[in-house]
Structure 1
């Protein structure tokens, strides 16, 4: 019988990360261990109330109490391809949700752990398993080091940071994402200065929903002339008609907090509200659900970015790395800055990005290729244990 163990991880960050809605100083994750005969699988939920309405407490409650589909209890007995088909078919965000609201962060924690468990039980690398699960149409044939974006928050001077890099290193940065404060004109000026330093990179601005439509429209020309590549989540979530007005003003728009489901893609298309969507494992409901949404976005003519939640401590960044090393169609791939935020002792292998080349290598081994260390688990608070199938 499978068991599910939950651990609350609140690990202080070595450097705060600030954007328009939040200053984060510690992780806020739920580690999920799925244990069965012959293997353990690991997952992670990173709930953010301003993104999906979920919290650490709501995730723990959902994963500890909500009855799971009966097929989950069979995963430790099924052949690989059948088990993967079961995982792809689960609707975990809806199953784990309450009051008609889905719970994608909780679902991501469980789906990631179940996927890792199935892969480890059969001794299969995660990338191969994603292909066998039917995602060869959105993934490359083989993983390769991912060219990763440089994300600069409000606690850092982007121009000073980029100017301090060696010219050879900065020339390899494929994309810069600038977190924005409330002043749209100030953001436009900053884009221009970054463009002067990195003329070959794409440059986006992420306002985290903090701007007002009129302010953006007044500065649309300045943003375009400064060399802005796209604007990420400029307005409060799901203001579809106003987002469409920004596009008519000549701006490319990316959805982030406004997007976590196929329903959001349909609403976006109905209003012609965006050009791109930001895919994040915890926001989308897990790696398999993310790839399903990537396929839907591709069919709809929308570009995709692979994003992260700030403060992912282990399984989540490994799941993102797994996808990022094969999602060649992404306009940008984020990989976090765990090397600044956390010590290397939290996971085996430790987090690594080659900052000189802006490349994130693939992990090796079965499943996600990563395990939390005893040091990490020793800093977590055990929250719950459940036996899968006892509530069926």
Structure 2
């Protein structure tokens, strides 16, 4: 089977700017990758985000165009084998999109959900097979804690989310600590905050913050990527001192491949297929990490619905019951199709073949305008 690959560039405006330690983003742009065979189509989303660990948009565009030229007559199996051999990839977002489109197409043709297809070659496949109405717990993405409006916080609670993620490291630490403490005071007993610093703090600042948070540690789910300039020994000490999980995210690619989870200094891994280089290497890393006793969550690159669907299928394949970071669709003012349904803080996956994504929006063109 030799699929026909197509690229559709898109530019999706955000409802409000996305603020992190890396600055502001007002839109998300990328390419929808489509793998066609007869009347069936699989989808992948290439949405580079360099600050999260991907390549630049220029590098992704070059990779995608070169791939279409060089592999135009290759079978699905051949293309997947080539992509697998090239991990770690210098263009992980492009490679992940290509792999996802091919895997999605194969799953649809085989009558399997993408999650079932991903685990089909593993010993746990029968236990991991999707059941009707499968639910994946997810966290609410509320943006920068210093900018958080009470209305957004209240909407997340009303929607049933039990983990609320906020960005930190974008305002003075005193102001952010005050905001965190105020939020924790308003949290229901079964709801916790997830903090993401994007490596914004120094080692000393991180240590001070951990001490300041100790009285409310039971309200904190995790702190992701607290600092950039720290050795693994220093990170291990931080984790031992922390009363909650610390996590590695965008710093993972710099550690080389294959990663040895036994050597990683923190308790949790945050995995993005567009950063790791594909669904299969992400699942492989997740399995190894879980076997080593580490926690694993799958999160979004604030990509289109096509990317969210495949990442949700990956989250299901990992079997992780933690709250995954896949509730980002409402940040987009336009999308390429319906996003996964979220109810009571959980994402619901159907049992239809493939990822579940349906391409319905043809209006998100290069300049984000409506046609």
| Residue aligning to 1:74 | 75
Q: 1:232 aligns to what?
A: 224
How far did residue 274 of structure 1 move?
Answer: 0.7
Matched, 1:2 2:3: yes
Deviation at residue 353 of structure 1 after TM alignment: 3.8
Q: 2:301 aligns with which of 289, 298, 309?
A: 309
TM superposition shift of 1:370: 1.4
How has the CA–CA distance of structure 1 residues 340 and 182 changed in structure 2, closer, same or farther, with 3 Å as cutoff? Answer: closer
Select 2:176's aligned residue among 164, 187, 202. Answer: 187
Which has a greater percent of strand? 2
- How many residues end up aligned between the 2 structures? 359
Please give the alpha-carbon distance, in whole angstroms, between the structure 2 residues aligned to 1:216 and 1:199. 26
Between stretches 214-223 and 125-134, larger displacement belongs to: 125-134
Aligned to 1:63: 64
In the alignment, is residue 134 of structure 1 matched against residue 122 of structure 2?
yes
What pairs up with 1:149-164 in 2 under 5 angstroms?
149-154=139-144, 157-158=147-148, 160-161=150-151, 164=154
Matched, 1:255 2:269: no
C-alpha deviation, 1:327, in angstroms: 4.0
Query: How large is the RMSD of aligned CA atoms in angstroms?
Result: 3.3
Q: Taking structure 1 as the reference length, what is the TM-score of the superposition? A: 0.80
Q: Name the residue aligned to 2:355.
A: 368
**Aligned residue among 337, 342, 348 for 1:354:** 342
| 3-state SS of paired residue (2:270) | strand
1:125: Cα distance to partner? 2.5
Shift of 1:185: 4.1
In the alignment, does 2:320 pair up with 1:329? yes
**Residue 67 and residue 157 in structure 1: after superposition, are their counterparts in 2 closer, same or farther (change >3 A)?**
closer
User: For residues 139-183 of structure 1, what are the alpha-carbon distances to aligned partners after superposition, in whole Å with 9 as ceiling and x for unaligned?
Assistant: 73324122221121127754724663497x36x322111110243
Gaps of 5+ in 1: 76-82, 382-392
Instruction: Give the structure 2 partner of residue 25 of structure 1.
Output: 26
Residues 31, 44 of structure 1: 8 Å contact kept: yes
Quote the residue 1:11 is aligned against: 12
Shift of 1:254: 0.2
**Whole-angstrom distance in 2 between the partners of 1:92 and 1:174:** 39
Question: What displacement does 1:138 show?
Answer: 11
Q: TM-score of the superposition, structure 2-length normalised?
A: 0.84
- Aligned residue for 1:28, secondary structure, equals strand
Deviation at 1:43, TM superposition (A): 0.5
Question: Matched residues in 2 for 1:261 and 1:124: separation?
Answer: 34
Preserved CA contact (<8 Å) 1:130 1:136: no
The answer for the alignment partner of 2:310 in structure 1 is 319
State the Cα deviation string for residues 240-269 of structure 1 (Å, max 9, x = none).
333223223335310011124884784674
Equivalent pair of 1:8/1:56 in contact (CA under 8 Å): no
- Alpha carbons of 1:16 and 1:138: their partners in 2 closer, same or farther (altered >3 Å)? farther
* CA distance, structure 2, for counterparts of residue 89 and residue 132 of structure 1: 20
Q: 1:303: Cα distance to partner?
A: 0.5
How many Å apart are 1:363 and its aligned residue? 3.6
The 8 Å contact of residues 253 and 276 in structure 1, kept in 2 or not, is answered as: yes
Rounded Cα–Cα distance in structure 1 between residues aligned with 2:55 and 2:241: 34
The answer to whether the 8 Å contact 1:247/1:253 transfers is yes
Q: Residue 300 of structure 2 aligns to a residue in which SS?
A: coil
Q: State the shift of 1:25 in Å.
A: 1.0
Compute the displacement of 1:122 (Å): 2.8
Residue of structure 2 equivalent to 1:176: 164
In 1: Cα distance, 2:221 partner to 2:176 partner = 13
Q: Give 1:40's aligned residue.
A: 41
Aligned partner of 1:289 in structure 2 is 281
The structure-2 alpha-carbon separation of the partners of 1:3 and 1:146, relative to structure 1 and needing over 3 Å to count, comes to same
- Offset at residue 73 of structure 1 (A): 2.2
Would the aligned equivalents of 1:30 and 1:59 in 2 still touch at CA under 8 Å? no
Following the alignment from structure 2 to structure 1, what is the Cα–Cα distance between the partners of residues 102 and 156?
42
- Per-residue deviation at 1:295? 0.4
Deviation by residue 1:24-60 (Cα, 9 ceiling, x = unmatched): 1111222111223443221111211123251222112
Contact 2:283–2:318, Cα closer than 8 Å, also in 1: no
